[in-house]
Structure 1
Amino acid sequence: MSQTVAVLDIGKTNVKLALFDEGRLLWEKSAPNRVLPGSPYPHEDVESGWSFFLDALREAARTHRIGAIVPTAHGAAGALIGESNLAAPVMDYEFKGIDEIEPDYAKLRPPFSQSLSPKLPAGLNLGRQLAYQKWRCPDLFAKAKHFVGYPQYWAWRLSGVAVSEVTTLGAHGDLWLPRQGQVSSLVGALDVGHLLPPMRRAFDPLGPIQPDIAAATGLAPETPVFCGIHDSNASLLPYLVSRQAPFTVLSTGTWVILMSVGLSLDQLDPRDDTLANVDVLGRPIACGRFMGGREYAVIAGGGGNPDIDAIERVIASGTIALPCFSGQGGPYATTEGVVRGEVAARDRAALATLYCALVSDLLLTRMGATIGDLIVEGTFARNRPFCQTLGALRPTQRVFGAEDAAGTARGAAMLAQWPPSYLIAEPSPIAPISISGLDSYRKAWTATVDRIV
């Protein structure tokens, strides 16, 4: 039966409420997501987000009958919750002060061979955040009844039901063993097992919204709340039900997450920032990542997409961008990005596009993702020269573009009826093109980055 699903989409940059009916976007509203400075560490502006969602749900409910709510949120965030409120603020994963615990945390972190979770900068390992909160904020930590992933925090706030969920625990957090499908040794080493509520699946209904939320928004009191999902995994859902493995989805936004379904995990290497995430059914998925959206903005000096003529001008000039322009993510996160050569202001977006395509190509090769279709989803799907350049770099693989600004939310909406009974929209094929000088340009770029230690 058709129903309108409201998705709470909590990204690093924006928060959004989007309504869907069998995959069709009906309504959406967004606002900037903020990080608050100060004690005890920089943290998510949860209350502003909560106010936004209540207002947006109230507005949407005036014209749509909402039949279900599903949250999705970025990774590397979790919430210590008490009886009815947060026990501690939700840490911003870019908090660099967390580095002070690294000598002690390194003794507890499970090896990559078990966790398939590399050591990441700042708070990108969720277990590292949890250790910092326990060791540096003991008074707040002592108030915690549960520790939940960020999507499940919003589900708890809506329904009052606290649960754990595998796509969030399995997202480079050091807390999960993807091959074994169980929590890692870190949970015992930190003595936090009692804080993890029961496991539920992302598509499980937890219960109805709480009465005060129904009263504040005008939603029906019986409106169910679903467990929710890590946002990159939400982007993957449409393809899990519509494609045969092997294939790779490039989920693009602030981060570029490359998720290869049906690929061996044997070539994953923590030095490359390749790792395993866990899909909605609990299966390990080979992944690579870099902060492509942020790096693109730095190199391009703003927004906008280039054309192929601009790509070829940059190639002809020999100007190259070398990683890394974000200070986190990817195989060269610890090196400082630099542009070698001169580039006209009008061609900076072309240089950024080439850079992001080359890093994506490098990660695909190192992951062993040399067969199967490549589906570009999110921000970069609307940058056609990026898709064309990626296709030219990897001529034996077909490239598709899912030009859908609501791709993550659309995937999350599927959880309210899993597996979906409706047809999934197919991404558009990107016609192969030849780009003059690209092969030589890639060889020069690769030879230079190979010398980066």
Structure 2
Amino acid sequence: MTLPRHIAVIDIGKTNAKVVLIDSQSRQQVAVRTTPNVVRREGLYPHADVEMLWTFIVGSLRVLGAEHGIDGISITTHGATAALMAGGVLAMPVLDYEHDGPEQTAEAYGEVRPPFSETLSPLLPNGLNLAAQIFWQANAFTQEFARATAILTYPQYWAWRLTGVLASEVTSLGCHTDLWAPATGTFSSLVSAQDWSGLFPEVRPAASVIGHLRPDVAQETGLTSDTPVTCGIHDSNASLLPHLGQHEAPFTIISTGTWTIAMTVGGSTAQLDAGRDSLANVDAFGRAVPTARFMGGREFDQLVPNIAEPRDEEIAAVIDRDVRVQPSVTPGVGPFPQAKGGWTVDAETLGAGERTAAASLYLALVTEASLGLCGLGREIIIEGPLARNRLFASALGRLTGVPVYASGDATGTSLGASMLFGFGEAQRASHAAIQSLAVPGFDEYAQRWRRSIA
């Protein structure tokens, strides 16, 4: 198949949803439309507003298609989310993974979930283990669950809405779901034990063209009905995709957004700790990728209400005055899930630049701790919003002692998802080398931070 020139990427993050138009020849973003990804609170439980998102997606495709033309559509979404289908409609709403409903059946679920050695998926709170969501839905809403004819991971739900084709896919099945066994490349023992095997459609490669636009969708968007649509990919793995085969292993990708996710391709899974939010993701080739994560974007937003590029003297003052943020700002996740952290000073006394500096150093320190779990590659490439945070990147270089690069791409996730078309073709991404932080006292600052973790 000829590589589509203009690829529309449906990119649904936990905080925002986007439709990004990528030029496959220049690897540049041509246009983007965004909307907040809101959670609806009425009904059975908090859930994704899929109809609002669908209206946004269709409208964006219509506008971008009219302005630039669209030759293919690719999809990427956050993980820990599934749509339970009853034929051509939802059997129940698409559960918000931050809802604590699954905690109601946590004890019973703990008795049936597979061991970490099988899934490389740690036990996580609320609905962060997708199988825990499904288990809770099956037990709390028996009538609704009995109507389910298929379980679709989130990218494949949107692929179905576009094409009418049902599929499963390994990057979404393999992201801390308890549903997948990376070593064998099969569904975990839980799936058959719970009699869910018949609900998961055939596994298709993320990079496969799952189908073409349904006639009604083509008419609504103004696109042609032969517009190809990929199966879709989990967002962290989309960020990883441009780098597969492009670097000497092991190498580390830091994918940033609501979550800061460190993935070391070619690394060992031996140091993964089920109690510290480290796990194995599964890449587009179906291989286990040691991974560690924390809610870096969410925490940064909480810590810094007004972002300001810190001046050199503000960075120096934060380090000299020992202004720190200790983990964890978001409890229950990350490498220090039991630690109750926060500012070591009254944050209201700090200027915007100082707050930004201290929060950036905090993110670098937590990232370094995460790398102790998933392994440190020969080089680090930062994708997403934190690629623009020079202090974070330079501090990470000082902490790890390996070269750090900031991705030159506008958004690693959307670019990676666009590369599902033509996957495997050699396309070296552009990166900017970051100079390591050289502020006096930073090494001692980092040591104090580590010693102070409760």
TM-score, normalised by the number of residues in structure 1: 0.96
Partner of 1:19 in structure 2?
21
Output one character per residue of 1:185-210: Cα deviation in whole Å (capped at 9) or x when no partner: 11122211110000000011111110
Query: 1:327 Cα deviation (Å)?
Result: 2.7
Q: What's the CA shift for 1:19?
A: 1.2
**CA distance in structure 2 between the aligned counterparts of 1:432 and 1:324, rounded to whole angstroms:** 25
1:223 pairs with 2:234 = no
Deviation string, structure 1 residues 271-322 (Cα, Å, up to 9, x no partner) = 2211100000000000000000111111223434434432221111112211
Deviation of the 1:5 alpha carbon: 1.1
Deviates more, 1:265-274 or 1:403-412: 403-412
Structure 1: distance between partners of 2:154 and 2:308:
31
SS of aligned partner of 1:25: strand
The aligned counterpart of 2:36 is: 32
**What is the alpha-carbon distance in structure 2 between the residues aligned to residue 7 and residue 35 of structure 1?**
22
Partner amino acid for 2:180?
Answer: W
Hey, what's the Cα distance between the residues in 2 that align with 1:100 and 1:58?
43
Alpha-carbon distance in structure 2 between the residues aligned to 1:334 and 1:85: 40
TM-score by length of 2: 0.96
Q: Which moved more, 1:400-409 or 1:216-225?
A: 400-409
Q: 2:171 matched to which residue of 1? A: 167
- How far did 1:15 drift? 0.9
| Structure 2 unaligned residues grouped into runs of 5+ | none
Q: Match of 2:388? A: 382
Q: CA deviation at 1:82?
A: 1.9
Cross-structure match for 2:419: 414
* Aligned residue-pair number: 447
Conserved 8 A contact 1:308-1:385 = no
**More displaced, 76-85 or 195-204?**
76-85
1:149 corresponds to: 153
Aligned partners of 1:271 and 1:305: how far apart in 2? 35
- The answer as to whether partners of 1:389 and 1:435 remain within 8 angstroms in 2 is no
CA distance in 2, matches of 1:405, 1:53: 20
CA 1:338/1:433 → structure 2, altered by over 3 Å: closer, same or farther?
closer
1:44 deviates by 0.5
Q: 5 Å matches for 1:432-443?
A: 432-443=436-447
Q: Does 1:241 align with 2:248?
A: no
- SS of aligned partner of 2:192: helix
Q: What residue in structure 2 maps to residue 63 of structure 1?
A: 67
**More divergent stretch after superposition (10-19 vs 424-433):** 424-433
CA distance in 1, matches of 2:240, 2:309: 25
Q: Secondary structure at the match of 2:112?
A: coil
Aligned with 2:44: secondary structure? coil
Alignment partner for residue 136 of structure 1, among 124, 129, 140?
Answer: 140
1:363 aligned to which of 370, 373, 377: 370
CA contact (8 A) 1:290 1:328 kept: no
Write out per-residue CA displacement over residues 120-171 of structure 1, whole angstroms, 9 at most, x where no aligned residue: 1110000001101111111211121110110000001100011000000000
Name the residue aligned to 2:7: 5
Which residue identity is paired with 1:410? Answer: L
Q: Deviations over 1:213-247 (max 9, x none)?
A: 01111101111111000000000011113212111
- Measure the CA separation in 1 of the matches of 2:133 and 2:388: 34
Q: Which range moves more in the overlay, 401-410 or 137-146?
A: 401-410
Q: Which residue of 1 aligns with 2:358?
A: 351
**AA of the residue aligned to 1:341:** V
1:92-241 alignment to 2 at 5 Å?
92-241=96-245
Aligned residues: CA RMSD:
1.4
| Corresponding residue of 1:49 | 53
Instruction: Say whether 1:310 aligns with 2:291.
Output: no
Larger mean Cα displacement after TM superposition, 316-325 or 85-94: 316-325
- Within the candidate set 401, 405, 409, 1:400 is matched to 405
Deviation track 1:361-413 (CA, whole Å, cap 9, x = no partner) reads: 111123332x4101111111101111011111122x10000143322011000
SS at match of 2:369: helix
One-letter amino acid of the structure 1 residue matched with residue 252 of structure 2: T
**SS, match of residue 312 in structure 1:** helix
- Aligned equivalents of 2:448, 2:91: Cα separation in 1: 52
Whether the 8 Å contact between 2:253 and 2:380 is mirrored in structure 1 is yes
Aligned equivalents of 2:19, 2:245: Cα separation in 1: 24
Question: Distance between the aligned counterparts of 1:303 and 1:40, measured in 2?
Answer: 37
Measure how far apart 1:417 and its partner are.
Answer: 1.5
Note if contact 2:396-2:436 (Cα within 8 Å) is conserved in structure 1.
Answer: no
Question: Is the contact made by 2:29 and 2:410 (CA closer than 8 Å) also made in structure 1?
Answer: no
Aligned mate of 1:339, from 323, 329, 343:
343
User: Is the deviation greater in 248-257 or in 55-64?
Assistant: 55-64
Shift of 1:440: 0.7
Give me the whole-angstrom Cα distance separating, in 2, the residues matched to 1:11 and 1:219. 24
